[in-house]
Amino acid sequence: MSDNKFTNEEGIHTDFMEDMNYGDYLQLNQLLTSQKRLSGHHDEMLFIIIHHVSELWLKLIIHETKAAVTSIQEDDLQSSFKMLARVSKIQEQIIQAWDVLSTLTPAEYMEFRDKLGNASGFQSYQYRLVEFVLGYKTPHVLKIYKKDPEIHAILEDAYYKPGLYDVSIQALARNGFDINPDVLNRDFSKTYEKDDSVEQAWMKVYRNVSDHWELYQLAEKLVDVEDWFQQWRFRHMKTVERIIGHKTGTGGSSGVGYLKQVLDHYFFPELWDLRTKI
Protein backbone atom coordinates (compact mmCIF):
# COMPACT_ATOMS: atom_id res chain seq x y z
CA MET A 1 0.00 0.00 0.00
CA SER A 2 1.31 3.44 -0.85
CA ASP A 3 2.35 5.71 2.04
CA ASN A 4 1.17 8.70 0.04
CA LYS A 5 -2.32 9.23 1.46
CA PHE A 6 -2.98 11.95 -1.10
CA THR A 7 -3.05 9.38 -3.91
CA ASN A 8 -5.86 7.54 -2.13
CA GLU A 9 -8.07 10.65 -2.08
CA GLU A 10 -9.56 10.13 -5.53
CA GLY A 11 -12.22 12.77 -5.03
CA ILE A 12 -9.77 15.66 -4.52
CA HIS A 13 -10.09 18.29 -7.25
CA THR A 14 -6.84 19.12 -9.01
CA ASP A 15 -8.01 20.75 -12.22
CA PHE A 16 -8.89 24.40 -11.68
CA MET A 17 -8.26 25.72 -15.16
CA GLU A 18 -11.90 26.81 -15.42
CA ASP A 19 -13.07 26.62 -11.79
CA MET A 20 -12.62 28.93 -8.82
CA ASN A 21 -10.04 27.71 -6.31
CA TYR A 22 -9.19 28.71 -2.73
CA GLY A 23 -6.89 31.54 -3.77
CA ASP A 24 -9.46 32.93 -6.20
CA TYR A 25 -12.22 32.91 -3.57
CA LEU A 26 -10.11 34.73 -1.00
CA GLN A 27 -8.40 36.98 -3.58
CA LEU A 28 -5.09 35.94 -2.05
CA ASN A 29 -3.02 37.51 -4.81
CA GLN A 30 -4.40 40.93 -3.90
CA LEU A 31 -4.20 40.25 -0.16
CA LEU A 32 -0.67 38.85 -0.05
CA THR A 33 0.84 41.46 -2.34
CA SER A 34 -0.42 44.35 -0.17
CA GLN A 35 2.53 44.19 2.22
CA LYS A 36 4.89 46.66 0.57
CA ARG A 37 7.88 47.69 2.65
CA LEU A 38 9.14 51.25 2.23
CA SER A 39 12.51 50.34 3.69
CA GLY A 40 14.81 47.41 3.19
CA HIS A 41 14.55 46.44 6.85
CA HIS A 42 13.52 42.87 7.65
CA ASP A 43 11.19 43.80 10.54
CA GLU A 44 9.04 46.23 8.60
CA MET A 45 7.19 43.18 7.25
CA LEU A 46 6.16 42.27 10.81
CA PHE A 47 4.96 45.81 11.43
CA ILE A 48 2.81 45.90 8.29
CA ILE A 49 1.29 42.43 8.71
CA ILE A 50 0.34 43.03 12.37
CA HIS A 51 -1.57 46.14 11.34
CA HIS A 52 -3.17 44.45 8.33
CA VAL A 53 -4.37 41.59 10.53
CA SER A 54 -5.70 44.02 13.13
CA GLU A 55 -7.64 45.93 10.47
CA LEU A 56 -9.22 42.69 9.25
CA TRP A 57 -10.32 41.83 12.79
CA LEU A 58 -11.65 45.39 13.23
CA LYS A 59 -13.68 44.91 10.05
CA LEU A 60 -15.30 41.84 11.57
CA ILE A 61 -15.94 43.63 14.89
CA ILE A 62 -17.73 46.39 12.98
CA HIS A 63 -19.74 43.80 11.02
CA GLU A 64 -20.83 42.08 14.24
CA THR A 65 -21.54 45.17 16.35
CA LYS A 66 -23.63 46.80 13.62
CA ALA A 67 -25.71 43.63 13.40
CA ALA A 68 -25.96 43.49 17.20
CA VAL A 69 -27.29 47.07 17.28
CA THR A 70 -29.99 46.15 14.77
CA SER A 71 -30.91 42.99 16.69
CA ILE A 72 -31.28 44.92 19.95
CA GLN A 73 -33.42 47.55 18.25
CA GLU A 74 -35.66 44.71 17.00
CA ASP A 75 -35.80 43.15 20.51
CA ASP A 76 -33.99 40.07 19.21
CA LEU A 77 -31.59 40.01 22.13
CA GLN A 78 -30.64 36.36 21.72
CA SER A 79 -29.12 37.04 18.31
CA SER A 80 -27.17 39.99 19.69
CA PHE A 81 -25.66 37.76 22.39
CA LYS A 82 -24.05 35.51 19.78
CA MET A 83 -22.66 38.50 17.89
CA LEU A 84 -21.29 40.19 21.01
CA ALA A 85 -19.76 36.93 22.24
CA ARG A 86 -17.98 36.68 18.89
CA VAL A 87 -16.72 40.25 19.27
CA SER A 88 -15.14 39.32 22.60
CA LYS A 89 -13.37 36.36 21.02
CA ILE A 90 -12.08 38.60 18.22
CA GLN A 91 -10.79 41.03 20.83
CA GLU A 92 -8.79 38.21 22.40
CA GLN A 93 -7.08 37.65 19.06
CA ILE A 94 -6.23 41.34 18.62
CA ILE A 95 -4.78 41.50 22.12
CA GLN A 96 -2.49 38.55 21.38
CA ALA A 97 -1.23 40.38 18.28
CA TRP A 98 0.50 42.89 20.56
CA ASP A 99 2.61 40.03 21.92
CA VAL A 100 3.91 39.41 18.41
CA LEU A 101 4.58 43.10 17.73
CA SER A 102 6.43 43.42 21.05
CA THR A 103 9.18 41.22 19.58
CA LEU A 104 10.15 44.35 17.63
CA THR A 105 12.91 46.13 19.56
CA PRO A 106 13.37 49.92 19.77
CA ALA A 107 16.59 49.69 17.72
CA GLU A 108 14.87 47.68 14.99
CA TYR A 109 11.84 49.99 14.79
CA MET A 110 14.00 53.10 14.51
CA GLU A 111 15.55 51.61 11.36
CA PHE A 112 12.31 52.23 9.43
CA ARG A 113 10.12 54.49 11.59
CA ASP A 114 10.94 57.56 9.51
CA LYS A 115 9.42 55.85 6.46
CA LEU A 116 5.98 56.10 8.08
CA GLY A 117 5.97 59.89 7.82
CA ASN A 118 2.84 61.11 9.64
CA ALA A 119 1.00 57.81 9.18
CA SER A 120 -0.19 56.38 12.49
CA GLY A 121 -2.59 53.78 13.86
CA PHE A 122 -4.33 56.79 15.45
CA GLN A 123 -5.72 57.43 11.96
CA SER A 124 -7.38 54.01 11.55
CA TYR A 125 -10.91 54.82 10.46
CA GLN A 126 -12.12 51.36 11.39
CA TYR A 127 -10.87 51.87 14.94
CA ARG A 128 -12.88 55.11 15.00
CA LEU A 129 -15.97 53.23 13.84
CA VAL A 130 -15.54 50.81 16.75
CA GLU A 131 -15.18 53.73 19.17
CA PHE A 132 -18.28 55.36 17.68
CA VAL A 133 -20.44 52.25 18.06
CA LEU A 134 -19.24 51.98 21.66
CA GLY A 135 -20.34 55.59 22.24
CA TYR A 136 -17.01 57.42 22.38
CA LYS A 137 -17.25 60.36 19.99
CA THR A 138 -14.91 63.32 19.65
CA PRO A 139 -15.59 65.84 16.85
CA HIS A 140 -11.96 66.70 16.05
CA VAL A 141 -11.18 63.19 14.78
CA LEU A 142 -13.45 63.58 11.75
CA LYS A 143 -11.02 66.15 10.33
CA ILE A 144 -8.41 63.43 9.87
CA TYR A 145 -10.48 61.74 7.17
CA LYS A 146 -11.40 64.67 4.90
CA LYS A 147 -8.79 63.42 2.43
CA ASP A 148 -11.16 60.58 1.50
CA PRO A 149 -14.79 61.79 1.06
CA GLU A 150 -16.17 58.22 1.00
CA ILE A 151 -14.57 57.25 4.31
CA HIS A 152 -15.47 60.62 5.82
CA ALA A 153 -19.12 60.05 4.87
CA ILE A 154 -19.11 56.57 6.48
CA LEU A 155 -17.66 57.98 9.69
CA GLU A 156 -19.99 60.96 9.76
CA ASP A 157 -22.99 58.66 9.36
CA ALA A 158 -21.82 56.48 12.26
CA TYR A 159 -21.03 59.57 14.33
CA TYR A 160 -24.67 60.64 14.49
CA LYS A 161 -26.18 57.20 14.99
CA PRO A 162 -27.05 55.61 18.35
CA GLY A 163 -24.36 53.27 19.62
CA LEU A 164 -24.51 49.87 21.26
CA TYR A 165 -25.22 51.30 24.70
CA ASP A 166 -27.83 53.74 23.41
CA VAL A 167 -29.93 50.95 21.91
CA SER A 168 -29.48 48.88 25.08
CA ILE A 169 -30.84 51.76 27.17
CA GLN A 170 -33.74 52.04 24.73
CA ALA A 171 -34.38 48.33 25.30
CA LEU A 172 -34.58 49.02 29.05
CA ALA A 173 -37.22 51.67 28.38
CA ARG A 174 -39.24 49.34 26.14
CA ASN A 175 -39.25 46.82 28.96
CA GLY A 176 -40.92 49.24 31.33
CA PHE A 177 -37.96 50.82 33.11
CA ASP A 178 -38.23 54.53 33.87
CA ILE A 179 -35.46 56.13 31.82
CA ASN A 180 -34.79 59.85 31.76
CA PRO A 181 -36.30 61.17 28.46
CA ASP A 182 -33.22 63.37 27.99
CA VAL A 183 -31.15 60.19 27.72
CA LEU A 184 -33.52 58.53 25.27
CA ASN A 185 -33.68 61.65 23.09
CA ARG A 186 -30.09 62.76 23.49
CA ASP A 187 -27.74 63.94 20.75
CA PHE A 188 -25.97 60.72 19.76
CA SER A 189 -23.02 62.65 18.37
CA LYS A 190 -22.03 63.42 21.96
CA THR A 191 -20.04 61.00 24.10
CA TYR A 192 -22.40 59.28 26.52
CA GLU A 193 -22.41 60.50 30.13
CA LYS A 194 -23.82 58.41 32.96
CA ASP A 195 -27.33 58.99 34.21
CA ASP A 196 -28.94 58.00 37.50
CA SER A 197 -32.11 56.64 35.88
CA VAL A 198 -30.02 54.27 33.75
CA GLU A 199 -28.09 53.09 36.78
CA GLN A 200 -31.29 52.46 38.72
CA ALA A 201 -32.71 50.45 35.83
CA TRP A 202 -29.64 48.24 35.60
CA MET A 203 -29.65 47.84 39.39
CA LYS A 204 -33.19 46.44 39.20
CA VAL A 205 -32.09 44.06 36.46
CA TYR A 206 -29.19 42.76 38.56
CA ARG A 207 -31.30 42.46 41.70
CA ASN A 208 -34.06 40.56 39.89
CA VAL A 209 -32.10 38.44 37.44
CA SER A 210 -34.78 35.78 36.99
CA ASP A 211 -37.35 38.44 36.00
CA HIS A 212 -35.03 40.19 33.54
CA TRP A 213 -32.82 37.36 32.33
CA GLU A 214 -32.29 38.63 28.77
CA LEU A 215 -31.47 42.18 29.87
CA TYR A 216 -29.09 40.73 32.45
CA GLN A 217 -27.36 38.70 29.72
CA LEU A 218 -27.17 41.81 27.54
CA ALA A 219 -25.54 43.77 30.35
CA GLU A 220 -22.92 41.10 30.90
CA LYS A 221 -22.16 40.87 27.17
CA LEU A 222 -21.60 44.65 27.16
CA VAL A 223 -19.26 44.35 30.14
CA ASP A 224 -17.35 41.60 28.34
CA VAL A 225 -16.86 43.82 25.28
CA GLU A 226 -15.68 46.79 27.33
CA ASP A 227 -13.42 44.64 29.51
CA TRP A 228 -11.66 43.16 26.47
CA PHE A 229 -11.47 46.57 24.78
CA GLN A 230 -9.75 48.08 27.80
CA GLN A 231 -7.34 45.16 27.92
CA TRP A 232 -6.58 45.80 24.24
CA ARG A 233 -5.96 49.47 25.01
CA PHE A 234 -3.65 48.57 27.88
CA ARG A 235 -1.61 46.12 25.80
CA HIS A 236 -1.43 48.74 23.05
CA MET A 237 -0.09 51.30 25.50
CA LYS A 238 2.49 48.93 27.01
CA THR A 239 3.67 47.75 23.58
CA VAL A 240 4.13 51.33 22.40
CA GLU A 241 5.98 52.18 25.61
CA ARG A 242 8.20 49.12 25.17
CA ILE A 243 9.13 50.04 21.60
CA ILE A 244 9.29 53.87 21.54
CA GLY A 245 9.11 54.87 25.21
CA HIS A 246 7.50 58.29 25.61
CA LYS A 247 8.33 59.67 22.17
CA THR A 248 5.63 61.58 20.28
CA GLY A 249 3.61 59.31 17.98
CA THR A 250 4.18 59.43 14.21
CA GLY A 251 0.74 61.02 13.82
CA GLY A 252 1.55 63.80 16.29
CA SER A 253 -0.23 62.39 19.36
CA SER A 254 1.50 62.26 22.74
CA GLY A 255 1.89 58.52 22.25
CA VAL A 256 1.92 56.68 25.56
CA GLY A 257 0.45 59.74 27.32
CA TYR A 258 -2.61 59.73 25.07
CA LEU A 259 -3.05 55.96 25.38
CA LYS A 260 -2.93 56.18 29.19
CA GLN A 261 -5.50 58.96 29.16
CA VAL A 262 -8.12 56.98 27.21
CA LEU A 263 -7.72 54.04 29.60
CA ASP A 264 -9.70 56.06 32.14
CA HIS A 265 -12.77 56.31 29.90
CA TYR A 266 -15.75 54.00 30.47
CA PHE A 267 -18.17 53.27 27.62
CA PHE A 268 -20.88 51.78 29.84
CA PRO A 269 -20.28 53.53 33.20
CA GLU A 270 -23.43 52.44 35.05
CA LEU A 271 -22.64 48.77 34.47
CA TRP A 272 -19.32 49.27 36.26
CA ASP A 273 -20.59 51.58 39.03
CA LEU A 274 -23.34 49.19 40.09
CA ARG A 275 -20.75 46.54 40.95
CA THR A 276 -19.73 48.64 43.93
CA LYS A 277 -23.28 49.51 44.95
CA ILE A 278 -25.17 46.24 44.44
Is 49 annotated as ligand-binding?
yes
Cα(265)–Cα(263) distance, integer angstroms: 6
Q: Which residues of 194-214 are buried (b: 16+ CB within 10 A; e: fewer)?
A: ebebbbbbbebbbeeeeebee
Is 113 annotated as ligand-binding?
yes
Is 159 annotated as ligand-binding?
no
Please give the single-letter amino acid code of residue 15: D
Rounded to 5°, the CA angle 170-175-181 comes to 45
Is 109 annotated as ligand-binding?
yes
Contact (CB, 8 A) for 168 and 198? no
Is 51 annotated as ligand-binding?
yes
Cα(9)–Cα(249) distance, integer angstroms: 54
Is 244 annotated as ligand-binding?
no
- Kindly report the number of other CB atoms within 10 A of residue 98's CB atom: 20
Contact (CB, 8 A) for 171 and 77? yes
Is 94 annotated as ligand-binding?
no
Is 236 annotated as ligand-binding?
yes
Burial class (CB in 10 A: 0-12, 13-18, 19+), 80: buried
Residue 78 exposure: Cα atoms within 13 Å on the Cβ side: 0
Cα(156)–Cα(43) distance, integer angstroms: 36
Q: Which residues are annotated as a binding site?
A: 47-51, 109, 113, 236, 250
Which residues make up each annotated binding site for substrate? 47-51, 109, 113, 250
Binding site members for heme:
236
